[in-house]
Structure 1
Amino acid sequence: MRRLLLVHHTPSPNLQAMFEAVVSGATDPEIEGVELVRRPALAATAQDALAADGFILGTPVNFGMMSGALKCFFDLAYYPCLDATRGRPYGLYVHGNDDTAGAVRGVEKITTGLAWERVAAPVSVTAGPTKDELRACWELGATVAATLMP
């Protein structure tokens, strides 16, 4: 069974709704042969990342950047994963009050360094999330999970 690791920092109701939509998409009954492993960013380890075949990352925007919790995960996992996880697929969702560009850019710099392959456009939400944005989160989860199907 392939393993999809969802590393998230979910401190608000808006991010909780996005997280639940991503989980729903990634665990849709049509997705077969993929196990979704959920880890809060401060609990996720390099070993979790090394055992994963793909990744979904979720973060709030704090001071224009990804959360410190997600950054901590990357700090711990970056060098152990640098060569071992090259080419693995990932997706990203972010929530901010007015601008998400800095957080998306920061995550993309790190994932580029890791040579992970983005398989879906990032879902960036300000305010809301709306019904359409939750649908986009669902599609993000389903898309990343589907890329791992045998």
Structure 2
Amino acid sequence: GMGASTIISILEDDMEVAQSAQLLVLQPMAGAASLRAWLCSHGWQLAAEELVDDAPHFYEIIAAKRGPAPAYSVAECAVGPLLLAQKHPLLGKQLERQLATCRQLLENMGRSERARASEKYKEIEALKAELEVLQNGKRSDSK
């Protein structure tokens, strides 16, 4: 039941050991986007991604191997660039989950003038717009 921040902390606590691994298979309970971004900025490339819908739980599994990674957008990290590329059968649900999170954050932040003026609010708005583009482009490919 570890979130991405805990996984990242474990990897950072002993980078030498982490970097000696050939393959990491990770299943963050939360924060998969930040884990993907961290991996790619620390010498790992995404090797495979999988989604599992075991109601009421929805799991993201990420496999990473040593090597240079392409630059991914914030939306690609949120959804999973390999999931997008393979048009995963659960991609529609993944996109909707990410959009729902953005909508909820924007609604909550929208109650405060200060929050609406923040850089974080603008970042979430931009992510929501990117996710909507991905959703509209993938809608016929997903279920």
TM over 0.5: no
Asked which structure has the greater CA Rg, the reply is 2
Higher strand share: 1
Which fold has the larger relative contact order, with Cα–Cα distance below 8 Å and residues 6 or more apart in sequence? 1
* Structure 1 length-normalised TM: 0.29
